[in-house]
């Protein structure tokens, strides 16, 4: 019999790629969609799967809607990807971020406990929890020190997931995913902001690109590879937490260089620094060690940063040409 999965955040980058993966595996996919006044299904359309997903109206802030979603979907697996996920916004809306990104996790866990305690639960934890890093390479045992209201909310979400596993025997896992990107990454995140600007500058539609701190470093991978790890975590005999990363770190500056040089441009001619884009507290560098995922899940990143950036620049050129 086919399995049923419920995905919160189905309209986001990871929700779209995960839906595609689960559909390919024969799952019946239910997606929780929060009410918005404008179209939020464009990523599902981009991947050609909009019609195959059963959309359920609901919001992580509304427990009753999550209970209904559990009842309607009869989900065996729940992937909690819904969040206010943009770090910069979390300083402007810290309470909202705490509610959706933090307490929303408990809402989802309670909905599971009240309806189907046997359902398996994936929590979208993050490398932002390491923040002011305590070890030069971060793994599952590295202590946390979040640097933003987003990181703090995610840390709460992570520990409440661990707590339900320890308190109620919930099959609950925390995937500590490092940054992952794609052609359907939100345009506010730095990689997509850069690849979109490269396309516009190349096609003569934008003169400059304004960025904040370009000396920070991230361990960037491809979202399509990372959703596979989410699924694998829920197929194990025992629930556990895993770091998902490439094991390589690159500065925003070098990422710009890769993206601009792909279209024959020098980033130094176009990138300007806008101090207003600096963050009140920064995560200077992240570098993950995905060894546990390799040994236990048989997972490793397949796509290099160069391949990822080329994929994104090419997709943005096509998009800008059509617009
Ligand atoms: P994203 O593109 O920003 O998607 C976030 C999703 O959450 C969207 O579908 C959004 O719906 C939904 N959402 C927001 N508020 C909600 C609410 N109150 N109730 C229900 N749904 C709500 O994020 P992503 O990049 O796919 O990331 C997926 C998850 O992984 C997030 O939890 C993120 O924090 C976490 N994470 C991401 C990364 C990364 O590098 N991408 C790394 C580690 C962890 P709308 O479309 O309607 O706004
Ligand atoms: O910033 C710097 C910025 O916004 C990356 C989320 O998915 O990954 C993401 O969080 C770096 C930071 O991602 C600009 O200061 C410079 O150092 O692309 P970002 P993030 O903050 O790392 C983690 C793992 C998550 O969990 C989050 O949900 O780039 N930077 N100039 C800039 N960043 C942005 N956005 N825009 C700039 O102009």
Instruction: Determine whether 284 is an active site residue.
Output: no
Residue 139, pLDDT score: 98
The strand pairing partners of 271, in sequence order, are 209
Q: Which atom of ligand 2 is closest in space to residue 181's alpha carbon?
A: 7
**pLDDT-based confidence at residue 31 (cuts at 50, 70, 90):** very high
How many C-alpha atoms does 6 have within 13 Å on its Cβ side?
A: 30
pTM, entire model: 0.98
Which of 11, 101, 126, 250 is catalytic? The answer is 126
Nearest CA, atom 7, ligand 1: 82
Q: What's the rounded mean pLDDT across residues 142-167?
A: 98
pLDDT-above-70 percentage for the chain: 100
Q: Is the CB of 85 under 6 A from ligand 2?
A: yes
Q: CATH number for the 4-180+220-244 domain, one of 3.40.50.720, 3.20.190.10, 3.20.20.70, 1.10.600.10?
A: 3.40.50.720
Indicate which residue of 17, 27, 150, 262 is catalytic. Answer: 150
CA–CA separation, 116 and 76 (whole Å): 8
List b or e across 255-285, with b for residues whose CB sees 16 or more CB atoms inside 10 angstroms: bbbbbbebeeeebeebbeeeeeeeeeebbeb
Is residue 62's pLDDT more than 90? yes
Contact 259, 180 (CB under 8 A): no
pLDDT at 4 over 80: yes
What is the share, in percent, of the chain residues with pLDDT greater than 90?
99
Higher pLDDT, 2 or 65: 65
Question: What is the number of the ligand 1 atom nearest to the C-alpha of 15?
Answer: 26
Q: Does the beta carbon of 40 sit less than 6 angstroms from any atom of ligand 1?
A: yes
**pLDDT at position 76:** 97
Domain boundaries, the chain: 4-180+220-244, 186-219+249-282+303-322
Share the mean pLDDT of the chain.
98
Please check the confidence at residue 1 and state whether its pLDDT lies above 80: no
Beta bridge partners of 243: 176
The whole-angstrom separation of Cα 245 and Cα 243 is 6
CB distance 246 to ligand 1 below 6 Å: no
Ligand 2 probe mutation, 82, 86, 87, 288, most atoms within 8 A of CB: 87
Spatial neighbors of 68 by CB under 8 A, at least 6 apart, are: 56, 58
Distance 238 CA to ligand 1 centre (A): 26
161-220 pLDDT, tens digit per residue, is 999 999 999 999 999 999 999 999 999 999 999 999 999 999 999 999 999 999 999 999
Per-residue confidence (pLDDT) for residue 2, from 0 to 100: 85
Q: How far is CA 225 from CA 19, 135, 211, 317, in A?
A: 13, 25, 27, 23
Question: According to the model, what pLDDT value does residue 188 have?
Answer: 98
Average pLDDT rounded to a whole number, residues 137-141: 98
Listed in order, strand segments (DSSP E) in the chain are 4-8, 28-33, 54-57, 77-80, 120-126, 172-177, 180-181, 209-211, 217-218, 221-222, 242-244, 250-251, 271-273
Confidence band for 278, pLDDT divided at 50, 70 and 90? very high
pLDDT for residue 276: 98
Residue 305 contacts residue 245 (beta carbons within 8 Å): no
Q: Six-digit token pair at 129?
A: 């929890």
State yes or no: is 128 an active-site residue.
yes
* Residues 265 and 199 sit within 8 Å (Cβ to Cβ): no
Instruction: Evaluate: CB of 6 within 6 angstroms of ligand 1.
Output: no
pLDDT at 231: 98
Tell me the mean pLDDT in the region 249-264: 98
Q: Which ligand is nearest to the CA of 31?
A: 1
* Dist CA 57 CA 8 (whole Å): 10
The verdict on whether 250 is a catalytic residue reads: no
Q: Is the CB of 213 under 6 A from ligand 2?
A: yes
Least distant ligand from the CA of 125: 1
Residue 35 Cβ contacting ligand 1 at under 6 Å: no
Query: Region 149-160: what's the mean pLDDT?
Result: 99
Determine the length of the chain. 323
- How far apart are the C-alpha atoms of 317 and 168, rounded to whole Å? 50
Residue 216 in contact with ligand 2 by CB distance below 6 A: yes
Question: For 152-165, what is the mean pLDDT?
Answer: 99
189 CB near ligand 2 (under 6 Å)? yes
The pLDDT score that the predictor gives to residue 192 is 98
DSSP 288: B
Residues 230-253 have a mean pLDDT of 98
Ligand 2 probe mutation, 83, 190, 209, most atoms within 8 A of CB? 190
Distance 155 CA to ligand 1 centre (A): 15
Is residue 60 within 6 Å of ligand 1 at its C-beta?
yes
Question: Is there a common fold for 4-180+220-244 and 186-219+249-282+303-322?
Answer: no
d(CA 238, CA 186): 33
CATH homologous superfamily, domain 186-219+249-282+303-322:
UDP-galactose 4-epimerase, domain 1 (3.90.25.10)
């Amino acid at each position: 019999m086919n399995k049923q999965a419920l995905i919160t955040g189905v309209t986001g980058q990871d929700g779209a790629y995960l839906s595609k993966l689960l559909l390919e595996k024969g799952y019946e996919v239910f997606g929780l969609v929060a009410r918005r006044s404008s179209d939020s299904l464009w990523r599902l359309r981009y991947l050609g799967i909009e019609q195959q997903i059963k959309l359920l109206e609901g919001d992580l802030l509304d427990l009753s809607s999550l209970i209904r979603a559990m009842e309607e979907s009869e989900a065996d697996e729940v992937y909690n990807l819904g969040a206010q996920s943009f770090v910069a916004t979390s300083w402007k809306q810290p309470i909202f971020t705490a509610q959706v990104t933090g307490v929303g996790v408990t809402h989802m866990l309670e909905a599971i406990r009240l309806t189907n305690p046997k359902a398996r639960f994936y929590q979208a934890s993050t490398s932002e929890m390491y923040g002011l890093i305590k070890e030069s390479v971060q793994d599952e045992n590295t202590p946390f020190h979040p640097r933003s209201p987003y990181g703090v909310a995610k840390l709460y979400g992570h520990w409440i997931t661990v707590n339900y596993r320890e308190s109620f025997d919930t099959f609950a896992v925390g995937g500590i995913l490092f940054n992952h990107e794609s052609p359907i990454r939100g345009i506010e995140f730095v990689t997509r902001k850069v690849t979109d600007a490269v396309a516009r500058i190349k096609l003569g539609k934008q003169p400059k690109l304004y960025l904040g701190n370009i000396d920070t470093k991230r361990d960037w991978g491809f979202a399509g590879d990372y959703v596979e790890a989410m699924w694998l975590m829920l197929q194990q005999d025992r629930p556990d937490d895993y770091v998902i990363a490439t094991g390589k770190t690159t500065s925003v500056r070098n990422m710009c260089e890769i993206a601009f040089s792909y279209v024959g441009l020098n980033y130094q001619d176009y990138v300007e620094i806008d101090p207003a884009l600096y963050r009140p507290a920064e995560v200077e560098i992240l570098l993950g060690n995905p060894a546990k995922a390799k040994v236990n899940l048989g997972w490793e990143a397949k796509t290099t940063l160069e391949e990822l950036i080329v994929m994104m620049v090419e997709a943005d050129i096509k998009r800008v040409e059509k617009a």
